[in-house]
């Protein structure tokens, strides 16, 4: 079995993710991956309560910066939302094909990624990032991966870089 739980992406400056009120209330451990320009990627344990859109909106409001929340299922796929403090949000999947396969009722499945790429590019621009459109489109088709490799590829495609050496 792979990783199942929430992953959050937020610009917090020097503040650790586990110091955020919207994360602290979840009572889960956070692995904090520090990125350039104050961005952080956190891997939370399984969380019963929030939805990706609720958590993304709470992160954006608390940090006053765009944020992303992904609900990862067994490292295979993720249901995700990118939100900004103005209330604009984009729902998307990592690996929409697997999400479709996991949906028991085909009538309940809502394809999102055909429109999500444009919304994510606009989200990145509002965040002051320079996204790579081709790379972003490719990462939306990938799985999150057991060690978060797909998530790191996704965030780098949005323009969230690793810390310089």
Taking only the tens place, the pLDDT of each residue in 42-72 is 988 766 666 888 999 999 999 999 999 999 9
Question: Which string of DSSP letters, residue by residue, matches the chain?
Answer: ----EEEEEEE-TT--GGGSHHHHTT---EEEEEBGGGEEEEEE---SS--HHHHHHHHHHHHTS-EEEEEEETTTEEEEEEE-TTS-EEEEEESHHHHHHH-S-GGG----HHHHHHHHHHHHHHTT----HHHHHHHHTS---TTSHHHHHHHHHHT-PBPP-
Q: Where are the domains of the chain?
A: 5-157
The confidence band for 7, taking pLDDT boundaries of 50, 70 and 90, is: very high
pLDDT at 29 > cutoff 70: no
Q: What is the pLDDT, as a whole number, of residue 102?
A: 83
Say yes or no to pLDDT of 24 above 80.
no
Position 51 scores a pLDDT of: 80
- pLDDT tens per residue across span 146-164: 889 999 999 999 999 988 8
Could you report the per-residue pLDDT of 124-133, keeping only the tens digit for each?
Answer: 999 999 999 9
Q: Is this structure's pTM higher than 0.85?
A: yes
């Amino acid at each position: 079995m792979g990783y199942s739980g929430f992953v959050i992406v937020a610009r917090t400056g020097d503040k650790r993710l586990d110091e955020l009120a919207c994360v602290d209330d979840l009572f889960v451990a956070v692995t904090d991956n520090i990125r350039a320009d104050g961005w952080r990627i956190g891997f939370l344990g399984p969380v019963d309560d929030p939805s990706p859109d609720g958590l993304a909106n709470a992160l954006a409001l608390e940090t006053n910066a765009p944020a992303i929340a992904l609900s990862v299922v067994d490292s295979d796929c993720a249901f995700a939302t990118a939100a900004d403090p103005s209330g604009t949000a984009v729902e998307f999947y990592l690996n929409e094909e697997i999400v479709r396969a996991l949906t028991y009722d085909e009538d309940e499945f809502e394809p999102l990624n055909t429109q999500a790429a444009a919304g994510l590019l606009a989200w990145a621009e509002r965040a002051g990032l320079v996204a790579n459109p081709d790379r972003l489109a490719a990462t939306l088709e990938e799985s999150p991966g057991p060690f978060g490799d797909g998530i790191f590829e996704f965030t780098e495609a949005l323009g969230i870089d690793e810390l310089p050496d």
